Amino acid sequence: MRHPAPTLVKRVSPTQTDVTWNDGHFSSYPSWYLRENCMCASCVEEFSGRRRIRHGDIPSTIERLSVAPVGNYALQFGWSDGHDTGIYTFEYLRKLCPCPECLPGGLKEPPEKVAGPGTFEA
């Protein structure tokens, strides 16, 4: 759709945010998934567009502390890892929708705990 916009943003739990869209579509986002897909300058390299965060870097237990509208085009989330610079435009948020219709393969949940920096795997 051309101008997706949420009609309802529901804080179901610290680890789940549900969005109902103006075309009736329904999306349910796990917190780790939104955090993993943050598009801010510290999560994505400016020139290459390469993500600094890989799947598994964000634990499944990460919590949403806040969600606030930005103008009339985006939402900004604050996460329990202290990160809060990510702005998710409605269009981007809608593209991320993990429902079976939008993402037939479904989501693969990351581990509850992830190795911190300085921990190396053989």
- Identify the residue whose tokens are 């911190």: 116
Beta bridge partners of 11: 17
Q: Quick one: tokens of 94?
A: 């809608």
Q: Does 62 bind Zn ion (CB under 5 A)?
A: no
For the CB of residue 44, give the shortest distance to Zn ion in the complex, in Å. Answer: 7
Closer residue to Zn ion in complex, CB, 40/115: 40
The span of 10-18, 43-51, 58-66, 111-119 binding Zn ion (CB under 5 A) equals: 43-51
Q: Which of residues 63-92 bind Zn ion (CB under 5 A)?
A: 86
Q: Which of 47, 37, 52 is nearest to 86 (CA)?
A: 37
Query: Would you call 94 helix, strand, or coil by DSSP?
Result: helix
Nearer to Zn ion, 32 or 122 (CB): 32
Task: Work out whether 4 is an interface residue with Zn ion (CB under 5 A).
Answer: no
Q: Among 1, 8, 12, 40, indicate the residue that binds Zn ion (CB under 5 A).
A: 40
List 65, 74, 97, 114, residue binding Zn ion (CB under 5 A): 97
Inter-CA distances, 33 with 1, 71, 96, 105, Å: 22, 23, 9, 14
Q: Let me know: does 79 contact 62? Beta carbons within 8 Å.
A: yes
List residues near Zn ion by CB under 5 A. 38, 40, 43, 86, 97, 99, 102
